Amino acid sequence: MSQLIMTAEVRLREVGGGFVNCRALLDTCATANFITEGMAKRLKAWIKPCEFRIDVIDNIRTAAKGITEITFYSVHGQFNKKLTCLVIPRIAESIPNELFPRESIKLPSNIRLADPQFHVPRQIDLLIGSGATLSLFSIGQLKLSHDKCDLYVQKTLIGWVIVGEIPNKIQSKGESCQLANFFNRVALVSSAKREKIVNDNDACETHYKLNTTRNKEGRYIVRLPFKTARPQLGNSRIIAMRRFHALMRKLKGNQMWAIEYKKVMQEYIDTGHMTLLNSETENGYYLPHHAVIKDSLTTKVRVVFDASAKGEMGLSLNDLLLTDPVIQDKIFEHLVRIRLCKYMITADIEKMYRQILIDERDRCYQKILWLHQNEIRTFELNTVTFGVSSSSFLAIRTLKQLAEDEGNKFPIGAEVLKNNLYVDDLLTGADTLNEILDIRNESIALLKLGGFKIRKWASNHPQAVEFMDEKMSDIEFLKNDTIEKKTLGVFWNATSDEFSYAVQKGDMSSKITKRNILSSVAKIFDPLGL
């Protein structure tokens, strides 16, 4: 079989200002971006030394000796994208592994290929990982399949790319289990799955742009992205009532939990995030809710709303909503990128979801049962709600929209909102104090325009959070050199500027088995693979 993987010709900017042509592999399965040592040296890129082990398949391993940041540009236009890349000796053998019979396929004359020489075996200088690759996909796909041929042409922001395979009479050189062949296999993902991801992402984005507004205070008002125009769920009040009585029995058994739970619900009412309904209607959806006990300095009891509970028609609210696309970098990329900076600064947005309003027309799908004057009454939740499948997309997309709408006033803050947030956690840095202060001040001012408040600022530069209100900074963390702050699931000590992991010692009195060893290892959250 002659195989094609998605490749593209791009331009990379040298440190001196010129451009270098580069051949890139678009990989929908890789969890990181990679660049060859040779290309990094040619760009004169600054490489931060590090050592990461990269496992591939059948114990095949390679190692990254450094991290660098590059920006690639389309050869067809002005589009560009910044990437954080691991630097490795070699990405793959020549791709394709043999000359592809280009004359056997008929390509439309009006499309601009991302890689005009896609059929000629050549080396790969850059591998673009799954997150960045999916962000390049545009609406548009052509099927060239016929007989045993399985070829597709996919439109991207940097041109059309080709993927698939056709049978040929040329004797293959044979397969060997190495990095190149692994990339050959994993890149040939299901076209149907890829098309569904692109279509769902586009539908979410279109829905957001058409239905999002702002009120006079600057807060954003969004609508739930339903798959159908008139969603019907049937009676959901019965299951919500049953779950409510179960919750009351649980709280009755622990007075402290009951006090904390009622305090949280009263805060919803006092802030206007939840409203009592004077009359009840059958339409809409009731969200059951329950308590999650969390060991936290700020919240001991968290209220969780269950939008996956089925109504009488066997459907839940989450079943009827579009699946939210991933529009932020992965934890791995955030943690790797921050090590490029001399100084690090972190914070989080207070009650991020609840600062975004739900359109009044959709609030009937966020009804809950709660007590009012010792009677069970129906309330509506007025904000984006944790537990609803679309909430993550709506919240994160709103922050990006705020950066677009107000970014001209605070360009540094806008860049932070677009690239340095993981859900509500900010993790960024710079090489000078002035840059850190600009990031902090512009982020605070920009978020305020959208009704958001950012707090718990912490940094390994002692002056970065100096003179801040104690409510704004993580004061206990800053005053104690031994306390470690949890950021993106990893512990960070600002004094030593080191990441660490919390590992609990297992019960050595019980019999040690493979099962409990694996169980203990699985409890270690290790996004960097250290």
Q: How far is CA 25 from CA 10, 72, 336, in A?
A: 10, 13, 21
Judged against a pLDDT cut of 70, whether residue 345 lies above it is answered with: yes
80 against 487, higher pLDDT: 80
Q: With beta carbons less than 8 A apart as the criterion, state whether 270 and 351 touch.
A: no
How far is the C-alpha of 391 from the C-alpha of 387, rounded, in Å? Answer: 7
Per-residue confidence at 326, pLDDT binned at 50, 70, 90? low
- Is the bond preceding 49 in cis, omega lying within 30 degrees of 0? no
Judged against a pLDDT cut of 60, whether residue 86 lies above it is answered with: yes
Q: What is the pLDDT of residue 312?
A: 82
Over residues 136-192, the pLDDT tens digits come to 988 888 887 665 667 889 999 999 999 887 765 544 444 443 344 444 444 433 444
Judged against a pLDDT cut of 60, whether residue 238 lies above it is answered with: yes
Neighbour tally for 60: CB within 10 Å: 13
Over residues 407-455, the pLDDT tens digits come to 999 999 999 998 888 888 898 888 899 999 999 999 999 999 999 999 8
Chain position carrying tokens 């080191």: 498
Q: With beta carbons less than 8 A apart as the criterion, state whether 102 and 117 touch.
A: no
Of 194-203, 209-218, 424-433, 444-453, the one with minimum mean pLDDT is: 194-203
Over residues 38-71, the pLDDT tens digits come to 999 989 888 888 777 776 644 456 778 788 889 9
Q: With beta carbons less than 8 A apart as the criterion, state whether 501 and 493 touch.
A: no
How far is the C-alpha of 179 from the C-alpha of 185, rounded, in Å? Answer: 10
Per-residue confidence at 325, pLDDT binned at 50, 70, 90? low
Over residues 468-511, the pLDDT tens digits come to 665 565 544 444 554 566 777 777 777 777 777 777 766 666 77
DSSP state of 319: G
Per-residue confidence at 213, pLDDT binned at 50, 70, 90? very high
Q: What is the pLDDT of residue 1?
A: 56
Q: What is the pLDDT of residue 175?
A: 44
Is pTM beyond 0.85? Reply is no
Q: How far is CA 452 from CA 149, 268, 308, 356, in A?
A: 53, 16, 28, 9
Q: What is the pLDDT of residue 429?
A: 87
Q: Could you tell me if residue 454 is left (phi over 0), alpha (psi between -120 and 50 degrees) or otherwise beta?
A: beta
Of 186-200, 338-352, 425-439, the one with minimum mean pLDDT is: 186-200
